[in-house]
């Protein structure tokens, strides 16, 4: 029975009738107005019939008019439900009403057919006129007799009239009371039906608690709300408390007692335990009524199922929390501002980029726009309000320390629930480093193209001269040109190899296999690698021995030492000395390569570690360098968490330093090295 009632008033299995009209306002309002006018007309006709029957109580078949009135009322109600089902698909209830209308209509038709012979048997107007004439003649004859009798009856008539007037007055009063009672009963019945329908559709149950006796009366809707069978509720206040969720029971009892003592209305939200173990949220509202002595007597209220509302509220809260977390976790600064430029949202990334924290800027005009940019942004804001989008606009904005930062800005308008323009979403991307990298890339391409073009042009010129055969009779000259072409080819190979090495180091494609290394072994192997070059240049190399060990990739450190020693040999005068040493300094081992060359200007001590950074551009051709050796050394040392730098005095020489992590070479280190 419960499932039948639920399905009878359910709206879950169907869609509202308004979907058939595609919710087009014109079409929907056409049907609403038409059905409303028809219903109004239908309801007015029964009132007219009631009035007619009441005035013409002498009608022989007055009941047929009442039957027609009932039929018309049902028809009008079906049109009311046509309006209702536009939004509420209670088609079972609508169909039942139509079935009732069909039954009343059929019954009226049957009764009308049965009444037709009797109606036809009624005298016609002509027959009535002839009868009236005959009666008039008889009346004239009897008037004479009545005139004689009237005098005798006047006294009696006066007494009867007085009594009749009293009876008519009493009868009219009784009839008026009956009509008013009937109207009140009809209105009460309609009100009850509407209340019952509203309770069933809205999942609302009513209750009454008699405070003095402790009796608690529930409606069937109330029992259904608590998942109980009809008439199964025990009817006590304590039984109701047991049906509540354990934690909410204490709060509910406190709220009820407070309502009784203070006389306030009860309004709270509770969780109830259904028989199957599920939890349902209900909103309860009640009003206290007192007896004649002013003491609390009854508490009457309603319970409404708000489980779906709570679930939607919880999902919305989770969604907002997730969105807030995503915004705060986003690496891109996200800012939301009002049309008047006041800040509504300021993400953590925005704090990091611009320097202001959220407390400083929320509710305040956005500080990243300089005063001269205010008018420009007002124009952009107006364009955004019209629905225009801006993506990847590069501009310069102010930071907290008044420095400038280059950003890429994307904007979008935000709207409220009524689709009105509300605020502006700004997403920033710091492209300062990107532009610097782009500039470095352009400079690198320019330098590389120059460095590659110069030896290639020389090789092309040498080969072109040899191809003209002008040096066929001058073999020594031709051999020297071939040697120069070979030298430039070697330079090209070194340049390409250095570029590839630097690129692999920068991109991290070279795997650093670190191990415990003796610094002395690394120094010795590096010196052995450049010994032949040093002998050719008449340079001597001295090594200051050390027992320190470092945690490093041996091949890359040997390459670093080799590059530094090669540079020292290139720029040292003949018969001079280069010293190589290493010493422990705290947690680091400090390596030094010192020469007695021409020295490096102070303004070049940092730029020489940049790509193609050289003290003199002619050194690349005279000394055979590529300008990438020190950049490679710096990258290697940085990947070992160390530092590299240079100190120099012009005319006296230069010293290059770098540090590596110091480790104690014990048995554990040997095991790590072997593994």
Taking only the tens place, the pLDDT of each residue in 309-360 is 888 888 888 877 777 777 777 788 888 888 877 888 888 888 888 888 888 8
Select the highest-mean-pLDDT range: 79-88, 488-497, 498-507: 79-88
377-386, 415-424, 621-630: least confident range? 621-630
Poorest-pLDDT segment among 18-32, 67-81, 224-238, 528-542: 224-238
Question: Averaged over 214-242, what is the pLDDT?
Answer: 79
pLDDT of residue 241: 79
**408-417, 439-448, 493-502: which is most confident:** 408-417
Query: To which H or E segment does residue 391 belong?
Result: strand 390-398
Q: How far apart are CA 73 and CA 61, in angstroms?
A: 20
Q: Percentage of the chain with pLDDT > 70?
A: 77
d(CA 28, CA 456): 83
Q: Which long-range CB contacts under 8 A does 46-51 form with residues at least 24 apart? A: 46/70, 46/72, 46/73
Q: What is the mean pLDDT of residues 6-21?
A: 74
Q: Name which of 642, 639, 669 is nearest 516 in CA terms.
A: 669
Q: What is the pTM of this model?
A: 0.35
| pLDDT tops 60 at residue 292 | yes
Beta strand extents in 211-273 (DSSP E only): 215-218, 266-273
Helix, strand or coil for residue 537? Answer: coil
Q: How many residues does the chain have?
A: 675
Sign of CA dihedral 389, 394, 398, 401: positive
Give the chain's mean pLDDT.
Answer: 77
Report pLDDT for 581: 93
Q: Which residues pair with 334 in a beta bridge?
A: 427
Tell me the C-alpha to C-alpha distance, in Å, between residue 425 and each of 346, 388, 415. 11, 12, 10
CATH code, residues 511-674: 3.30.565.10
Q: Give the residues across from 288 on adjacent strands.
A: 299
Fold for domain 203-312? Beta-Lactamase (3.30.450)
Mean pLDDT calculated for residue range 547-557: 88
Which residues sit opposite 579 in a β-bridge?
A: 542, 594
Q: Which residues have CB under 8 Å from 574's CB, separation 6+?
A: 537, 538, 539
Q: How far is CA 479 from CA 143, 464, 492, in A?
A: 170, 14, 20
**Phi-psi label, residue 602: left if phi above 0, alpha if psi -120 to 50, beta otherwise:** alpha
**How far apart are alpha carbons 163 and 222 in whole angstroms?**
57
> 330-430 maps to which CATH number?
3.30.450.20
Q: What integer is the mean pLDDT of 177-196?
A: 72
Please, which residues bridge with residue 305 across strands? 282
User: What is the percent of the chain with per-residue pLDDT over 90, rounded to a whole number?
Assistant: 7
Buried b (16+ CB within 10 A) or exposed e, 150-181: eeeeeeeeeeeeeeeeeeeeeeeeeeeeeeee
Identify the helix (H) or strand (E) that includes residue 201: helix 125-202
DSSP-assigned letter for residue 607 = G
Answer with the residue of higher pLDDT: 616 or 323.
323
Residue-by-residue DSSP string for 5-17: HHHHH--SSS--G
Q: What is the pLDDT of residue 472?
A: 56
Going by the DSSP 8-state scheme, the letter that residue 367 receives in this structure is: T
Residues 185, 263: Cα–Cα separation, whole Å: 33
Q: If pLDDT is split at 50, 70 and 90, which confidence band does 105 have?
A: confident
CA angle 638, 641, 645 (to 5 degrees): 50
Cα–Cα distance for residue pair 393/414, rounded to 1 Å: 19
Per DSSP, what are the bridge partners of residue 580?
Answer: 543, 593
User: Could you give phi then psi for residue 473, rounded to 5 degrees?
Assistant: -95, 10
* pLDDT band of 375, cuts 50, 70, 90: low
| Those residues with Cβ within 8 angstroms of residue 363's Cβ, 6 or more apart along the chain or in another chain | 342, 343
| Cα 554 from Cα 567, distance rounded (Å) | 20
Dihedral angle sign, alpha carbons of residues 216, 221, 226, 231: positive
Mean pLDDT of 42-48: 86
What DSSP state is assigned to residue 616?
A: S
Q: Are 644 and 634 in contact (CB under 8 A)?
A: yes
Please check the confidence at residue 65 and state whether its pLDDT lies above 50.
yes
Helices 519-536 + 554-570 axis angle, to 10? 30
Summarize the confidence of residues 619-648 as an average pLDDT.
75
- Average pLDDT, integer, range 617-640: 68
CA distance 503 to 373: 41
């Amino acid at each position: 029975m419960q499932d039948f009632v639920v399905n009878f008033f359910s709206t879950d299995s169907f869609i509202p009738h308004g979907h058939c009209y595609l919710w087009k306002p014109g079409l929907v309002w056409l049907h609403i107005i038409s059905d409303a006018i028809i219903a109004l007309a239908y309801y007015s006709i029964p009132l007219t019939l009631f009035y007619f029957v009441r005035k013409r109580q002498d009608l022989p078949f007055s009941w047929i008019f009442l039957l027609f009135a009932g039929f018309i009322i049902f028809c009008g109600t079906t049109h009311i439900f046509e309006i209702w089902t536009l939004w509420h698909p209670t088609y079972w209830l609508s169909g039942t009403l139509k079935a009732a209308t069909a039954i009343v209509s059929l019954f009226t038709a049957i009764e009308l057919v049965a009444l037709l012979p009797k109606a036809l048997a009624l005298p016609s107007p002509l027959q009535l006129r002839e009868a009236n004439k005959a009666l008039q003649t008889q009346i004239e004859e009897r008037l004479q007799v009545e005139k004689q009798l009237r005098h005798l009856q006047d006294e009696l008539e006066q007494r009867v009239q007085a009594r009749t007037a009293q009876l008519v007055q009493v009868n009219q009063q009784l009839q008026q009371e009956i009509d008013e009672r009937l109207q009140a009963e009809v209105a009460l019945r309609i009100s009850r039906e509407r209340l019952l329908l509203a309770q069933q559709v809205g999942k609302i149950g009513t209750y009454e608690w008699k405070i003095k006796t402790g009796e608690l009366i529930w409606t069937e809707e109330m029992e259904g709300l608590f998942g109980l069978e009809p008439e199964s509720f025990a009817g006590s206040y304590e039984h109701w408390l047991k049906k509540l969720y354990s934690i909410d029971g204490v709060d509910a009892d406190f709220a009820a007692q407070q309502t009784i003592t203070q006389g306030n209305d009860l309004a709270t939200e509770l969780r109830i335990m259904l028989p199957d173990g599920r939890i349902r949220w209900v909103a309860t509202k009640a009003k206290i009524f007192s007896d004649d002595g002013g003491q609390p007597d009854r508490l009457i209220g309603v319970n409404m199922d708000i489980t779906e509302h709570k679930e939607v509220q919880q999902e919305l809260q989770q969604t907002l929390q997730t969105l807030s977390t995503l915004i705060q976790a986003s690496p891109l600064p996200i800012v939301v501002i009002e049309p008047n430029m006041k800040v509504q949202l300021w993400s953590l990334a925005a704090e990091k980029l611009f320097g202001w924290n959220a407390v400083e800027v929320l509710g305040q005009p956005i500080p990243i726009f300089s005063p001269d940019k205010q008018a420009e942004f007002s124009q952009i804001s107006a364009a955004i309000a019209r629905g225009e989008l801006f993506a990847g606009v590069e501009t310069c904005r102010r930071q907290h320390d008044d420095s400038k930062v280059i950003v890429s800005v994307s904007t979008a308008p935000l709207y409220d629930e009524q689709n009105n323009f509300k605020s502006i979403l700004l997403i920033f991307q710091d492209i300062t480093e990107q532009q610097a990298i782009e500039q470095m890339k352009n400079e690198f391409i320019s330098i590389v193209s120059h460095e590659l073009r110069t030896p290639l042009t020389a090789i092309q010129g040498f080969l072109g001269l040899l191809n003209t055969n002008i040096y066929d009779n001058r073999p020594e000259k031709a051999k020297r040109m071939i040697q120069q072409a070979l030298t430039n080819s070697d330079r090209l190979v070194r340049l390409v190899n250095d570029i590839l090495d630097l690129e692999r180091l920068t991109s991290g494609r070279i795997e650093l296999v670190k191990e415990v290394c003796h610094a002395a072994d690394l120094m010795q192997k590096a010196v052995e690698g450049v010994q032949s070059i040093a002998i050719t240049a008449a340079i001597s190399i001295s090594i200051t021995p050390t027992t320190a060990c470092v945690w490093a990739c041996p091949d890359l450190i040997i390459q670093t030492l080799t590059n530094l020693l090669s540079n020292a040999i290139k720029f040292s005068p003949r018969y001079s000395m280069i010293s190589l040493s290493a010493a422990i300094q705290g947690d680091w081992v400090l390596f030094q390569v010192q020469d007695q060359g021409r020295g490096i200007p102070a303004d070049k001590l940092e730029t020489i570690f940049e790509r193609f950074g050289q003290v003199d551009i002619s050194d690349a051709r005279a000394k055979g360098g590529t300008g990438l050796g020190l950049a490679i050394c710096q990258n290697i040392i940085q990947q070992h968490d160390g530092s590299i730098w240079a100190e120099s005095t012009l005319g006296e020489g230069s010293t290059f330093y770098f540090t590596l992590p110091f480790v104690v070479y014990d048995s554990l280190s040997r095991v790590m090295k072997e593994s």
